[in-house]
Amino acid sequence: MKEAIRIGSVDIAVARDSYWAAAPATHLRDRASNAIPLERFAPYVGRQDPTTQVASRVLCFVVKSQGKTVLLDAGVGAWGLWRFGDGHLLDALAGLDVRPEEIDVVIPSHLHLDHIGWNTRPGPDGKPVVTFPNARYMFHKADWDRFTDPVIVDRQDPASRLARIADTCLLPISDAQQMDLVATDASVTSELKILHTPGHTPGSVSVLVESGGESVLFIGDVAHLCVQLTEYDWSPLGDVDRELSPKSRRRVVEEAVGRNALVAGPHLEEGPVYGRMVMLNGRRVWQGVDVPAQREIVAA
């Protein structure tokens, strides 16, 4: 099992769905929405030009805790709506020997397309079919309210992309009565906690896995690029509340530092999936770590 780790008694595997890319200097703004002077990127991007795109990805994670199989994030889906092409989550799950029927819980970090795309898949008639028939889907209420709001999704516009996403990836889940709304921090098992970390969207969540004295924190889009875990004030223009998102970045970093937790996100730049917050040249930075393929050791 590639990129698999064991945290205490919890098995976690990476399921790679799709791609993403952004140029740090154009993606991020300071707190006043101004462009960040290019020289300020120098400690983070080295010799790379911060105005050029860095390759990134859309990852999902399969977490097995106390008999439950939990999917963190559900990728871009197969709805032709992601600019880098449809996703490969179902193939990735097959590669991990995980059948869609085995997923017990789906937790999108927030309700943007690239985290809910595979909530459903196109059926033979093109209509949405719930991808994970036995799963409870846990959505944060603040995101549900926003991304099903007729004004926000612009029901007046027949070409509204947000309305299409709501109709294909969100409303079929509540119609199937597979949705649970969470409104604050919540637990799925005693090893897996949902933390409300708003800012990118009102209902953005992170997931903390703790077992056997080890921990890993999945931060969703609290940060798209590693530099944001050092420069909390650097936010994409797409963050809906750019006062709250720096606070959430500070919270996840402090939660991680206090536990020496691994930190992973769905989009962080290509390279190691997991990292730790370390002090380097006077700054606290995310540093990727190579994790051994423990699953093979366990299986042997």
Nearer to Zn ion, 210 or 239 (CB): 239
The residue range among 41-49, 62-70, 154-162, 213-221 that interacts with Zn ion, by the rule CB under 5 A, is 213-221
Cα–Cα nearest to 15, from 80, 61, 72, 68:
61
Q: How far is the CB of 109 from Zn ion (least distance, A)?
A: 8
Least separation in angstroms between CB 259 and Zn ion: 24
Q: How far is the CB of 99 from Zn ion (least distance, A)?
A: 25
CB of 118 to Zn ion, least distance (A): 13
Integer Cα distance of 283 and 30 in angstroms: 18
Which range touches Zn ion (CB under 5 A), out of 27-35, 66-74, 106-114, 149-157? Answer: 106-114
Count Cα neighbours of 58 within 13 Å in the Cβ-side half-sphere.
Answer: 27
Applying CB under 5 A, the site for Zn ion has a residue count of 2
Using the contact rule CB under 5 A, the part of the chain among 1-9, 59-67, 138-146, 215-223 near Zn ion is 215-223
Residue at 123: amino acid letter? G
* Counts for the chain of helices (H) and strands (E), in that order: 9, 18
Stretch that binds Zn ion, among 9-17, 66-74, 113-121, 205-213 (CB under 5 A): 113-121
User: Given the complex with Zn ion, which of 19 and 137 has the nearer CB atom?
Assistant: 19
> How far, in Å, CA of 163 to CA of 6, rounded?
39
Beta bridge partners of 220: none
Q: Can you read off the two tokens belonging to residue 207?
A: 């997931």
Per-residue contact track with Zn ion, 67 to 86, x per CB under 5 A? Answer: --------------------
Could you tell me the smallest distance in angstroms from the CB atom of residue 113 to Zn ion? 8
**Whole-number minimum distance, CB 219 to Zn ion, in Å?**
11
**In terms of CB distance, is 114 or 239 closer to Zn ion?**
114
Judged by CB under 5 A, the residue of 221, 231, 255, 269 near Zn ion is: 221
114: contact with Zn ion by CB under 5 A: yes
Residue 225 to residues 106, 191, 236, Cα–Cα distance (Å): 24, 27, 10
116/86 Cα distance (integer angstroms): 13
- Window contacting Zn ion (CB under 5 A); options: 68-76, 79-87, 112-120, 162-170: 112-120
- For residues 163 and 155, the answer to whether their CB atoms sit within 8 Å is yes
For 25-44, the DSSP string reads HHHEE-TTSPBPPGGGGHHH
Q: Strands, DSSP E only, in 73-164? A: 105-107, 120-122, 128-130, 136-140
Interacting residues with Zn ion (CB under 5 A) = 114, 221
